[in-house]
Structure 1
């Protein structure tokens, strides 16, 4: 990571683009230098006000990413953004296009759902965007993300692994484990006495100890068969899950 300075921060903010990679890269750099959080927030607000209208929302997305992803490291950014975030929302809402309010509202929805800030501060942000009446209503209702209108605000926030992906990973791991034992099981089966696998050869066994051993080997054979059946089942499940992934139909 490059060293921190106000000049370096101003340069990075001037080069910030409205892409997930650009926002996340700068966010990581800021979090790395979180001991300068107070200075970072001050410079961020100043540069936000000087930025062209088309780039102002990007500054908000950056703040959203930093606030949420820095929580595990410490509360510095959450605390330092709190006193100025209402002013920032007012500025972007006033200076930006009408559609900006909708995007700011989505950021606010994320913060409300995840209780990023106290209700009193969230209510102030709601008042900035919707007025007092709307703010009171939104502070108590469950606000859902509109997946069809997903935007960068949700992309720049931490996401959980999609259920299908998680299931696929588990299936792959299980198949890997099962496949590694597949060849071993087949070797064990082939090493069993021929009498275990071919009933027509049972007449060869006359000794009591041999018969006892046969019983044990038969039990092993059944166990191996069950394990091999599981390998086959895992492969079928994996093919099914792969077929259900988006873009594979």
Structure 2
């Protein structure tokens, strides 16, 4: 796995797209370099601000994936992103986001609140920051409703001095205007509640294009034995029961085709057909129940496989990190070894030096010899 640097991170963010594979791949890389969480979040924020409106949701999905999947390894990313989220949502609130982006960001806030990623007060403040750009739209809606209810009130509010004398309302109209003014607050509150309920309903019914990982609360991955057993159980599922399927295929046509009822000749034949229909019905109900159980089992196995693969990717990232550390240590050891070998080659061979204890060496000169 590549070493961390800001230029490399910026390039990866430039290449990021809305696909789940792209987001999860970069998320794993960022989690692997969690010790640089502070730098990562600063670069992420800078690039999000510069990104086009259509790509801001992609950056938010990346942050969500990193925050939730890094919980087990430490709180670094949760704290760093949490410190920047107020600025992020103030920035998003300054745009008139399209419906898809707004829906996706609101869905993120709902997920964070449901899974206690951040406190309820924090989520509330973030929603307020995001709702800033909705104020103008909401005021337009209120003015539009007031205009349909009483056009005179809107004209009078904008420029009462330009009203003509022949357009002055009568007493009854003034009473209606007064009632409109006094009920304006309640209508605004009702409209706000309606818009909020409709937005919540659409968010709950619609599915976000990208899956908000993790799809469930974080769990420990299944043991290999459990996963193997679950896969082996699927081999005995309903779709693999050839005997029952053959029995269903060999049912007589009369039990499923009402157009053949006219061929019944007497009561005895009708009773016999009724018994066949009852047997076929029991067989099909039992098989359908097994099929439904198989569908649930396959969904459970799919979740187990997802958790297991995610865990294995995590272990792979850790192993690659350890491998990189050991490679660096090996490089250092090899460098020291090379220097040591060169140093040894430059040392004199002691075995070839003349013996200082024998007569092979001349006596050392005296001090007098040295200075005369």
TM-score (norm 2): 0.41
Distance of 1:48 and 1:94 partners within structure 2: 13
Deviation at 1:241, TM superposition (A): 3.4
Deviation at 1:128, TM superposition (A): 1.3
- CA RMSD across the alignment: 3.7
Structure possessing the higher radius of gyration over alpha carbons: 2
Q: 1:150 aligns with which of 202, 207, 211?
A: 207
- 3-state SS in 2 of match to 1:115: coil
Q: Which residue of 1 aligns with 2:131?
A: 130
Query: Which 5+ residue runs of structure 1 have no aligned equivalent?
Result: 162-167, 178-234
Q: Which residue of 2 aligns with 1:27?
A: 27
Distance of 1:116 and 1:86 partners within structure 2: 15
Distance of 1:81 and 1:171 partners within structure 2: 38
Distance of 1:158 and 1:145 partners within structure 2: 22
Matches within 5 A, 1:65-214: 65-95=65-95, 97-99=97-99, 100-130=101-131, 146=203, 148-152=205-209, 155-160=211-216, 172-174=231-233
Q: Which residue of 2 aligns with 1:49?
A: 49
Relative distance call for 1:87 and 1:71 in structure 2 (3 A) is same
Deviation at 1:160, TM superposition (A): 3.9
Deviation at 1:118, TM superposition (A): 2.1
Q: Which residue of 1 aligns with 2:293?
A: 241
Distance of 2:31 and 2:202 partners within structure 1: 26
Answering whether residue 15 of structure 2 is matched by residue 12 of structure 1, we say: no
Relative distance call for 1:38 and 1:176 in structure 2 (3 A) is same
Deviation at 1:58, TM superposition (A): 0.5
- 3-state SS in 1 of match to 2:94: helix
Distance of 2:85 and 2:206 partners within structure 1: 24
Relative distance call for 1:173 and 1:37 in structure 2 (3 A) is same
Runs of 4+ in 1 over 3 A off after TM superposition: 130-134, 143-148, 168-177, 235-246
Indicate conservation of the 8 Å contact 2:234/2:294, yes or no.
no
- 3-state SS in 2 of match to 1:95: coil
Distance of 2:68 and 2:92 partners within structure 1: 20
- 3-state SS in 2 of match to 1:116: coil
Distance of 2:291 and 2:2 partners within structure 1: 46
Q: Which residue of 2 aligns with 1:199?
A: none
Deviation at 1:146, TM superposition (A): 4.7
Aligned positions, number:
177
Indicate conservation of the 8 Å contact 1:89/1:128, yes or no.
yes
TM-score (norm 1): 0.60
Distance of 1:84 and 1:90 partners within structure 2: 10
Relative distance call for 1:4 and 1:126 in structure 2 (3 A) is same
Indicate conservation of the 8 Å contact 2:92/2:130, yes or no.
no
Deviation at 1:57, TM superposition (A): 0.8
